[in-house]
Amino acid sequence: MTPQAVALIGAAAFVASGVNAGAGGGSFISFPALLAIGIAPINANATNNTAMWLGGVASASAFRRELGTPPRTLLPMFVVSIAGSVAGALLLLRTSNGFFTQLIPVLLLIATVLFIWGPALTRASQRTRFGSSLDIESPLGLAAQFGISVYGGFFGAAMGILMLALFGLLGITDLRRANAFKVLLSVAVNGVAVIPFVIARAIAWDAAFVAGACAVAGGYLGAHLVKRLPGDVVRVLVTAIACAMTLFFALKTYALHR
């Protein structure tokens, strides 16, 4: 890699991992940076997943006190998250680069809409609980987490927004606690997806090492800063980046190739 490529993906991974620890949406920054240095879409997605997993591991320790839930209670959620992640990763590996390139603008658009409406979706879910039978161990809750994890293993941008909305529906109304769940389950989803990516040799390791090291630093610092900084400014910036990246890839994929 050129020094310019190293600087670009390192800076993008640092910022993206810090953003993921708070508002979420870091993949809007790191994934396009990997594409920009010439990595094929499937490999860029696998490499981004690996780097963001390392950043998530670094930030997870900062949220462990916010969980307030026995590990035994969380076990079913981790199991379905792992199963969904493997299914999504295998689905990605069976997708061609050409088809995935056509999907990128659609996936980014879906993720952007979810990111923009995420807080409203979370608030609505907190007001729409289906009685006391729906909790983090309920079959419906586990099925929903499985579906989110499949998406996470396949692409993953704005996966945390879906998780926060689900946790609100499941009665976790404390946002700090919900964010702690999100970070830990995201680590599980991204970490397990790395395994099939490694076996399939889908990771661009030179970029992954650079992005991973910077993501660790960004995740650790971001997890601590998020407790002090208001999230509104970060959300506005990430929203602007998400809209710009979605428009760019839509034009590049559909308009400029006609």
Q: Are the C-beta atoms of residues 207 and 47 closer than 8 Å to each other?
A: yes
What are the pLDDT digits (tens) for 163-181?
Answer: 877 887 777 767 677 777 8
Q: Are the C-beta atoms of residues 197 and 150 closer than 8 Å to each other?
A: no
The neighbour count for residue 58, using CB atoms within 10 Å, is: 22
Q: What is the pTM of this model?
A: 0.82
C-alpha distance across the termini of the chain, in Å: 31
List the one residue out of 19, 64, 68, 26 whose CA is nearest residue 173.
Answer: 68
Q: Are the C-beta atoms of residues 205 and 43 closer than 8 Å to each other?
A: no
Q: Which pair of structure tokens corresponds to residue 202?
A: 């889908």
What are the pLDDT digits (tens) for 211-238?
Answer: 999 998 887 776 666 556 666 776 777 7
Each residue's pLDDT, cut to its tens digit, for the chain (258 residues) gives 899 999 999 999 988 887 777 667 788 889 999 999 999 999 999 999 999 888 888 776 666 665 666 666 678 889 999 999 999 999 999 999 989 989 988 888 888 887 788 677 666 665 665 544 566 777 888 898 999 999 999 998 778 878 877 887 777 767 677 777 888 888 889 899 999 999 999 999 999 999 999 998 887 776 666 556 666 776 777 788 888 888 888 888 887 555
Q: Which pair of structure tokens corresponds to residue 101?
A: 């390139």
